Amino acid sequence: MQLPDPGRRQLIRNIGLGAAIAGAGLWSGAAPMPAKKRHIISLCWDDGFKESTRKTAAIFEKHRLAASFNVIASGHFKSFTIPDAYQVTEKGDFVMWNDLRRRGHEIMPHSYKHANLRDMPLEEAQHLVSICLAYFAEHLDGFRADRAIFHFPYNSSTPELEAWLSPRVRAFRTNGGGLNPLPHPGQSKLTCIGFGPGNTEENLEKQIKKLFEQPTGWLIYNTHGLDGEGWGPMRSEYLDELLGRLVAIETVAVLPPGVALSTAARA
C-alpha cells in the first residue's frame, strides 16, 4: 500500500491534541470530528504488557497522538494465572495506567483475568465483568463504567452477554470484522480484527488498504505488543513509520475508540 511520503507530511495537530485532551478526560472535552476526516483508525493495544506499553506510548506521543491501552484488571497481581503462552511477560499496574491516563492515553477494561467469557455460564461471565468494572472504578482515576468501552478478552462474546452488558457500559468491542461505520449516536457494539500469532504488519497494511477503498469508515484493529511481545506483535520501527504516514493524510484520524465515539456524541 502506498501512502504519502512521511518526509512530506504535515502533522495534524488538532487531531493529535484533541485525542490527548479527550483521552485524559475520557468522554469530556472532545471536539466534533472535522468534516474532512473520512476515515478513522483505532489501534487497540490489549493485555497491558509493561515494556510494550512504554514503547507504544512514547511512539504515539512522538506523533502527538493518544494510544488505546486495554488492560487486565488483575494482570499485575503476583497471583495472576497466565492464560496462554503469549502472556508470559510482565504487565503494568495501576500506577502506570493512571500515569498514562494523565498523559492523555485511553485506558479501558479488558476483563478481570482474561478468561474466555463465551465458554462459561452466563452468570459466571457476568460476575467476572462486574468485578472487573468495580476494580477499575476503585483504582483508575476518573473511571466511570457508563463512559467505558469493555474490550472482550479473545474478542469472544455471546448475544446474551452483550445484551446484559450494553446498559452497563458506553460500548463494547468484540469479534466481527474490523470495518465499522463512522461513530454515530447510539453506537455500542464495536467489532475488530487482528492477526497472529506471528508478525501482524502485513495483515494490518491489508486492513488499512480495505478501509481506504471505502468512501468512509472506521477500522478497529486489535494488536498487543511490540518487538516480539504478545500475540501478533509488530516492530517499534514499523509503528513509528506507520503513524508518520497516517498523520500525513488529511482525511484520516488516528484515535482511541472512546475518543472516536465522543466525537459523535458532540457532533
Between 31 and 217, whose confidence is greater? 217
Average pLDDT (44-65) is: 96
Question: In residues, how long is the chain?
Answer: 267
Task: Count other Cβ atoms within 10 Å, centred on residue 24.
Answer: 18
pLDDT in tens, 76-109: 878 778 777 788 889 999 999 999 999 999 999 9
Is pLDDT at 28 greater than 80 in this prediction? Answer: no
> What grid cell was written down for 69?
491501552
Q: Calculate the average pLDDT of the chain.
A: 87
- Please give the Cα distance from 255 to 218 (Å, whole number): 10
Our measurement of the distance from residue 101's CA atom to the centroid of its chain's CA atoms, rounded to an integer in Å, reads 13
* pLDDT for res 35: 67
> Is 120 exposed, middle or buried (CB count within 10 Å of its CB: 0-12, 13-18, 19+)?
middle
Topology of the domain comprising 6-29+38-79+88-265:
TIM Barrel (3.20.20)
Average pLDDT (205-212) is: 98
- Domain spans of the chain? 6-29+38-79+88-265
pLDDT level of residue 37 (50, 70, 90 thresholds) = confident
Average pLDDT (247-260) is: 96
pLDDT in tens, 118-133: 999 999 999 999 999 9
- Answer for the pair 38, 250: CB distance below 8 angstroms, yes or no: no
